[in-house]
Amino acid sequence: MAYEVLARKWRPQQFDDVVGQEHVTRTLKNAIRNNRIAHAYLFVGPRGIGKTSVARILAKALNCVDGPTLTPCGKCDSCKEITSGTSLDVLEIDGASNNGVEQVRDLRETVKYAPTHGKFKIYIIDEVHMLSQAAFNALLKTLEEPPAHVKFIFATTEPEKILATIVSRCQRFDLRRIPVPQIAERLQMVAKAEKVKIDEDALLAIARGSEGGLRDAESALDQLISFKGTEISEDDVLSVFGLVSRRTLEQLAEDILKGDIQSLIKIVAGLDESGKDLQRLVVELMEHFRNLLVCLNVDNITEGLDLTETQVTMLKAQAKLTNTGRLLRVTEVLADVEDRMRYTLSKRTLLETALIRCARASVVVSLEEILAQINEIRGQGTGNRDQKSEVRVQAPEIGERKAESGEQAIAPVPAMVREQKLDIEVAPVGDEVRSLMERWKEVTDKVGKIAVAARSIMADIRPIRVEKDRVVLGFDPEFADEADRFRDVRSRKALEHVLGTMLKREVSVDISVVPGEPVVPQAGPPPQQAGPKGKKGKSKQDLMKDPAVQKALDVFEGSIVDVRE
């Protein structure tokens, strides 16, 4: 007897044998039970998930000697003929090779004849989207009002190519990709029946490689049995199909989350030398980080993830190393490189650069995280709050020069301020304050274009006097607290730049509450002024002992370069 491949040998023969399509089989069984059988069905889905198998089971259920029945016997002549494909009443037509209008006209001539043995004459047209438009149009009337003894069952992988007028005349069922655990479970049953010893990781590797298609998985198992015999390990699966082991995939993800670039380069080199499919690796990495996102943002992750318990445990452990923002940055990099991998000749180089970008993206602290940590430190800090002091923390990795002890720290003008070209007329020298007052709205608009945060503050501020290269601005006492916001370097430098352009010379800005002393002094060595209660401001040594400041320095690995009262 000729050898029968596993995909045909283990093809489902009953509705309950179909894997992963319970939403379809349940509906069909209820339709048979309630005698609500439609005249046309359309099964949609990717390859190898059971579209034609479900069509044959439905045909057997309708034409079985006991039918219509939920469980065709498989022993009567009708069931055997349908299984072997020799039934005169169930015609399987390949839409790719019978796509002309002439073939459809022949079909229209045959539908009028009664079935030979069974109760129904059933036409199963596979890849129905391959029919020409003329063929579809020729089929329309027959499909809408067929004889009572005729049933049509269509199957396709590309439903968008089918005319809407055809789809509207059918009951459509969308079959989905089969989950990995269900494919692995089915393969385990097949392997046991075939007396093949195969470990769990090997089954998972085959299921991953099949991309949700049970037929592809069974064909892969058949090939592995021919390659290795009755004992199959994960290494055998990986070597035959060029897949990456689950442990290697998890190690790559962990190295990305920890920013371990050296380990990433080493692993990629090993995978490339062993001939692994690097483009497939990118797709699996994207899926892994997608699973991590689900793990972080969904309470019951077993509903959103198609994974085993071991994999879920591992994901929960890795989720503790990261957050949603960082994972989104990593997935954006992987999505970009996955699209480029198919066109590049040097896949290894592209993959290595992408993984380095991922590693950097997963460890870079976002602005939201910095603000959250600062707010936390503020909430936990203690000390004298009567004296308002500004502590500038400079992180060494920013690349700026650290200020030595006693050295004045002068913040550079932001690039946007330097490059902004302002169209401002020069103020007359005779009355500069009056000119500034008259055109203060224009100054406000120009400053707001450079530093958006300063626009709202400028509405409550007015020029008081101009003293050579020093412009004094005043705040109403009611809005004195707003003056603190001009400690922002960007806002202050933007204001100085606009005023300097107008006055045609470099100027510094002092801001005072009217009446009163300046709230925010000029850049330079701070004078020791008396505080509200007659106490002097804190020195650098005092601030170093402040718990809140010390914690900020520890978190950002910084140093105090200037203290402003």
Return the CATH number at 153. 3.40.50.300
pLDDT band at 520 (very low <50, low <70, confident <90, very high): very low
Q: What percent of the chain has pLDDT over 70?
A: 76
- Please give the DSSP secondary-structure letter assigned to residue 98: S
Neighbours of 8 (CB within 10 A): 10
* Least confidently predicted of 258-272, 325-339, 525-539: 525-539
Domain of 185?
180-241
**Same domain? 170 vs 228:** no
What is the Cβ-side half-sphere exposure of residue 193, based on CA atoms within 13 angstroms? 11
Question: Is 427 inside any structural domain?
Answer: yes
State the pLDDT confidence band at 476, using cuts at 50, 70 and 90. low
Highest mean pLDDT: which range of 259-268, 367-376, 462-471: 259-268
pLDDT at 313: 85
Q: What is the largest CA-CA distance in the chain?
A: 112
**Can you give the pLDDT at residue 415?**
41
pLDDT of residue 380: 60
pTM for this entry = 0.60
DSSP state of 173: E
Model confidence at 285, in pLDDT bands (50, 70, 90)? very high
CA–CA dist 114, 148 (Å, integer): 10
How many domains in the chain?
A: 4
The pLDDT value recorded for residue 383 is: 46
pLDDT at 521 over 80: no
Residue pLDDT, tens place only, 80-96: 999 988 899 999 988 88
Q: Which of 158-172, 277-291, 545-559 has the lowest mean pLDDT?
A: 545-559
Name the residue with higher pLDDT: 84 or 383. Answer: 84
**CB count, 10 Å around CB of 454?**
22
Question: Which residue among 146, 174, 202 closes a domain?
Answer: 174
- What is the chain's mean pLDDT, rounded? 79
**Residues 299 and 432 placed together within one structural domain of the fold:** no
Q: How far is CA 336 from the centre of its chain?
A: 11
Q: 50 and 142: one domain?
A: yes
pLDDT band at 502 (very low <50, low <70, confident <90, very high): confident
pLDDT over 90 (residue 186): yes
Which DSSP string corresponds to 370-426?
Answer: HHHHHHHHHHH--S--SS--EEEEE-GGG-PPPPPTTPPP-PPPPHHHHH-----PP
Average pLDDT in the 486-507 region? Answer: 79
369, part of any domain: no
pLDDT at 274: 85
Q: What is the C-alpha separation between 89 and 72, in angstroms, rounded?
A: 16
Q: Which of 363, 393, 425 is the last residue of a domain?
A: 363
Q: Copy the structure tokens of residue 292.
A: 């991590």
**Residues 51, 174: Cα–Cα separation, whole Å:** 9
Alpha helices of 42-100 — where are they, by DSSP H?
Answer: 51-63, 77-84
* DSSP secondary structure letters along 103-161: HHHHHHHHTTSPPSSSS-EEEEEETGGGS-HHHHHHHHHHHHS--TTEEEEEEES-GGG
Buried b (16+ CB within 10 A) or exposed e, 484-517: eebeebbbbbbbbbbbbbbbeeebbbbbbbeeee
Phi/psi for 178 (5° steps) reads: -85, 130
Six token digits for residue 116: 């030979």
* Choice between 450 and 288, residue whose per-residue pLDDT is larger: 288
Q: Which two tokens stand for residue 499?
A: 């005023």
- Asked whether residue 162 falls in the same domain as residue 20, the answer is yes
Query: pLDDT value at position 429?
Result: 45
Tokens of 461: 């501020």
Using the structure block, give the residue that is written with the tokens 């509200």. 532
> Does position 449 have pLDDT exceeding 90, yes or no?
no
pLDDT for residue 379 is more than 60: yes
* 517, pLDDT greater than 60: no
Assess if residue 392 is contained within a domain.
Answer: no
* Backbone φ, ψ for residue 324 (5° rounding): -65, -45
Same domain, residue pair 104 and 117: yes
414 preceded by a cis bond (ω within 30 of 0): no
Q: By the 8 A CB rule, do 278 and 271 touch?
A: yes
- Candidate ranges 397-401, 468-472, 512-516; pick with highest mean pLDDT: 468-472
Q: Are residues 194 and 74 in the same domain?
A: no
Among the listed ranges 13-27, 330-344, 465-479, which one has the minimum average pLDDT value? 465-479
Q: Are residues 352 and 292 in the same domain?
A: yes
**Residues 94-118: what's their mean pLDDT?**
85
Q: Is 93 helix (H, G, I), strand (E, B) or coil?
A: strand
- The per-residue pLDDT for 416 is 39
DSSP-based helix, strand, coil % in the chain, nearest 5: 55, 10, 35
Residues 141 and 265 placed together within one structural domain of the fold: no
Is residue 541 in a domain? no
Question: How far, in Å, CA of 447 to CA of 458, rounded?
Answer: 9
Looking at the structure, tell me whether residues 166 and 27 fall in a common domain. Answer: yes
* Residue 101 main-chain phi, psi, to 5 deg: -65, -30
In this predicted structure, the answer to whether residue 137 has a pLDDT above a threshold of 50 is: yes
DSSP code at position 197: E
Residue 108 has a pLDDT of: 87
Separation in Å, CA 358 to CA 70, 336, 368, 453: 53, 11, 19, 32
Distance separating alpha carbons of residues 38 and 45, to the nearest angstrom: 20
Instruction: For residue range 40-49, list pLDDT tens digits in order.
Output: 999 999 999 9
- pLDDT band, residue 306 (cuts 50/70/90): low
Distance CA 61, CA 55 (A): 10
Domain finish residue from 125, 143, 174: 174
**Hey, what amino acid is at 29?**
K
Per-residue pLDDT at 544 exceeds 70: no
Residues 164 and 35 in one domain: yes
Among residues 341, 330, 188, which one has the least CA distance to residue 264?
Answer: 330
Residue 284 within any structural domain of the chain: yes
Per-residue pLDDT tens over the stretch 419-445:
344 444 444 444 788 888 888 888 888
Omega within 30 of 0 (cis) for the link into 68? yes
Q: What is the reported pLDDT for 509?
A: 82
**pLDDT confidence of 467, banded at 50, 70, 90?**
confident
* 250 and 236 in a common domain: no
For residues 72-83, give the mean pLDDT.
90
Report yes or no on 331 lying in a domain: yes
Q: How far apart are CA 538 and CA 541, in angstroms?
A: 8
What is the rounded average pLDDT of the residues 207-234? Answer: 89
Which pLDDT value is given to residue 239? 82
| Whether residue 158 sits in one domain with residue 11 | yes
* Arithmetic mean of pLDDT, 111-136: 90
Residue 432: predicted pLDDT? 80
Asked if residue 396 belongs to a domain, the reply is: no
Residue 221 in domain: yes
DSSP label of 525? S
What CATH number is given to the structural domain containing 481?
3.30.300.180
User: Domain with 331 in it: what CATH number?
Assistant: 1.20.272.10
Q: Average pLDDT of 123-129?
A: 92
Q: Which of 186, 193, 127 is nearest to 162 (CA)?
A: 127
Tokens of 148: 């009572």
Are the beta carbons of 232 and 264 closer than 8 angstroms?
Answer: no
